[in-house]
Amino acid sequence: MEPSNHEKQPIDEPPSPPPGITNQVPLAVEVPPAEPPPLPRPQALVISDPERELLGEVGSIVPTPRAAKRLVNIYRMLRVSVQESELEAFLPTGENEYQAVVVLLGVLIGRPSRAHDVFEKLDTAADTDNVWEVLSQFQDVYEPLATIQDNITVTQAGPYRRWAPRVARFSFRLPEVFQMDEESAGTRPRSGSHDSRAATDLEGPG
C-alpha cells in the first residue's frame, strides 16, 4: 500500500561526532590589548647639575651654538639608553663615567674630522692608560679640552674605551672603528632610530 501524503517521511539523523568531539561552536578567543611600551626611567630623563655644568664647559671645543645644542640633545638620547646596571657607574653620585661620555661627544661634534683617529687610538689604549696622554697626541683636540682637565676625575682610558662604541653610533664616519656584536652592543639601536637621525644632523653643517 502506497504511503499517503499525510504520513511523515523518516528524517535521516546527522551522524554522531566521534568520541571527545562536540558539535558546539567554539567561543571566540579574546586577545588582550597590547601593553604600551615602558616609559623611560625618570632618573634617565633628568640631567643633574654636574652634568649640565660639564656640558657647558666642553663648549670650548664645540665651534657653534648649533653644534653645542646638538651635543646636549645627543647626550640626552644617549643618557636614556643607559641601562639600570650602568647607572651607578655613570651618574655623578657614582663613578662619574658621564664625564667620559661628555668628553667623547665633545670630540665627536667639535672635531669630527679627527674623531676617527682619536677613537681608534682610544680603542687600542690600555684601560689603565691616562686618557689625557692619549688625547695629547692630537693637539687640536687636547688644547681646547685642557681647560676642563682639572674638573675631570675620570682619567683612566678604560671608561672612555667602554663608552666610545656607544658614542660612535652617532656618526656615520666611525662605524669601522668598533666591531661590536649584538651581545656586546646591548642597546644597539634599530635602523631609523634616534641615533641614525642624530648622525645625519651631526654630519651636516654646524
Residue ranges covered by each domain of the chain: 42-202
C-alpha cell, 126? 690600555
CA–CA distance, 126 with 148 (Å, rounded to integer):
23
Burial of 71 (0-12, 13-18, 19+ CB in 10 A): buried
Q: At what angle do helices 157-168 and 98-110 cross, to 10 degrees?
A: 50
Closest Cα to residue 80, out of 191, 189, 172? 189
Looking at residue 41, what is its pLDDT? 57
Q: Which residues of the chain are modeled with pLDDT < 70? A: 1-45, 172-206
Burial of 109 (0-12, 13-18, 19+ CB in 10 A): buried
CA–CA distance, 61 with 135 (Å, rounded to integer):
13
Read off φ and ψ for residue 89, nearest 5 degrees: -75, -30
> What angle (nearest 5°) sits at the alpha carbon of residue 138, between those of residues 50 and 148?
20
Looking at residue 24, what is its pLDDT? 59
Q: Are 48 and 56 in contact (CB under 8 A)?
A: no
Q: Are 137 and 143 in contact (CB under 8 A)?
A: no
